[in-house]
Structure 1
């Protein structure tokens, strides 16, 4: 029969020390699974097997957790590098950001919430500006370009998370909508909705379509 004192000592030795990083990783997993509104200090502490009060040695409050996990998400995005093919770099960066934000469904709104940027977010922003400025954009132009691209990323991501995106799902939704769009009153809208209702394969991806228009337009500014 094991000695209880030895078992307790073993558990103490194997238990990982609580840290800000551990708390944020646990909070990120919780937010991805249950949503940001369900996130709380108590629930994160429960997942870590500690008392909620112990978190306050490392985290100020829920807002601090949200800012921290938002910064972790920024750290997952592929960074652009100064390159002659700046449009290719910005496209790769944009596609990566879109994938990451879909993976963390709560994060797109937080990227726009005005949190003071953490170190990973600042690295992400700095690399983006650096890529654009390296090919001739002024600092102001680079910042406007970044904002325009990011607005496209965030808007499309939120749409993808709330609306059907597969051809079959779009066709099913269009067939339902078509009944409430009389051709005599709305001929152009009816025609387009009818096309979508009868589509059997995906059309041009809206994300890449919009991104191409933005990048080509920005190219004319240099």
Structure 2
């Protein structure tokens, strides 16, 4: 009975016309489930109840698939809110981007990798960045200050930031790591800092850090600094 039900489900899925949106949605769901490294055309085809070759009518290759997945995720970011001022509008949208990335933890690595290899960002990403520039411009920012703002905010505009001490959960321990006593003797200031902060073992910015607090702290510090520059211009 289970086999019959499985076959019936596959037939039902196959009756729904295959399109690019379905392919990308299935790919995102599989990446959420098992990580982007486990993603393959075969697995996507199985999820959709089609043969792998059917997918290539909608995505030409793995890179086009990843680009399309990025655009799907960017589409989840809330649109800009009007009438609340540039600072609040940028903050709200960046935090919306962060909530999206927390739903799809594989995304930052893919976004960074594709940004390095593509000639330009994906269409949806360009639209998002263009709208963010529009928020700054509507807030009175001159073009040169917008340019500096984009540089200083960097990937934080998309809800993530590169950390100096990256220590993701599940990352293998470094065999060269120092014992606490030796660490304290050789690097007393770092040891003092490590002992002073409350540690969160699930943090992706280093065991000890509250990811959300640190992200918002840096975001607010950046926005405050940009506000001072705008007022002085």
Q: Answer yes or no: same fold by TM over 0.5.
A: yes
| Residues 202 and 61 of structure 1, relative CA distance in 2, 3 Å threshold | closer
Cα distance in structure 1, aligned partners of 2:69 and 2:183: 44
Cα distance in structure 1, aligned partners of 2:20 and 2:181: 54
Contact 1:105–1:161 (CA under 8 A) maintained in structure 2:
no
The root-mean-square deviation of aligned C-alpha atoms, in Å, is 3.3
| Residues 136 and 43 of structure 1, relative CA distance in 2, 3 Å threshold | same
Residue 137 of structure 2 is aligned with which of 126, 133, 140? Answer: 133
| 1:120 pairs with 2:121 | no
Contact 2:14–2:50 (CA under 8 A) maintained in structure 1:
no
Where do 5+ consecutive residues of structure 1 fail to align?
1-7, 165-175
Give the match for residue 96 of structure 1: 96
Give the match for residue 3 of structure 2: none
Q: Give the C-alpha shift of residue 71 in structure 1.
A: 0.5
Contact 1:87–1:215 (CA under 8 A) maintained in structure 2:
yes
Give the match for residue 151 of structure 1: 155
| 1:213 pairs with 2:221 | yes
| Residues 216 and 15 of structure 1, relative CA distance in 2, 3 Å threshold | same
Q: Give the C-alpha shift of residue 198 in structure 1.
A: 8.6
Q: Give the C-alpha shift of residue 14 in structure 1.
A: 7.8
Cα distance in structure 2, aligned partners of 1:159 and 1:192: 13
| Residues 162 and 57 of structure 1, relative CA distance in 2, 3 Å threshold | same
Q: Give the C-alpha shift of residue 27 in structure 1.
A: 0.7
Give the match for residue 58 of structure 2: 58
Contact 2:31–2:39 (CA under 8 A) maintained in structure 1:
yes
* Greater Rg by CA: 1
Q: Give the C-alpha shift of residue 90 in structure 1.
A: 1.2
Q: Give the C-alpha shift of residue 30 in structure 1.
A: 0.9
| Residues 195 and 129 of structure 1, relative CA distance in 2, 3 Å threshold | same
CA deviations over 1:182-215 (Å, ceiling 9, x no partner):
2x5433323222223699x987921111111111
Give the match for residue 187 of structure 2: 186
Aligned pair count? 200
Give the match for residue 142 of structure 1: 146
Contact 1:108–1:157 (CA under 8 A) maintained in structure 2:
no
Q: Report the 3-state secondary structure (helix = DSSP H, G, I; strand = E; otherwise coil) of the residue aligned with 1:181.
A: helix
CA deviations over 1:11-55 (Å, ceiling 9, x no partner):
579810111111111011111112112211111111111001111
| Residues 159 and 134 of structure 1, relative CA distance in 2, 3 Å threshold | farther
Q: Give the C-alpha shift of residue 105 in structure 1.
A: 1.4
Give the match for residue 173 of structure 1: none
Where do 5+ consecutive residues of structure 2 fail to align?
1-7, 171-177, 201-207
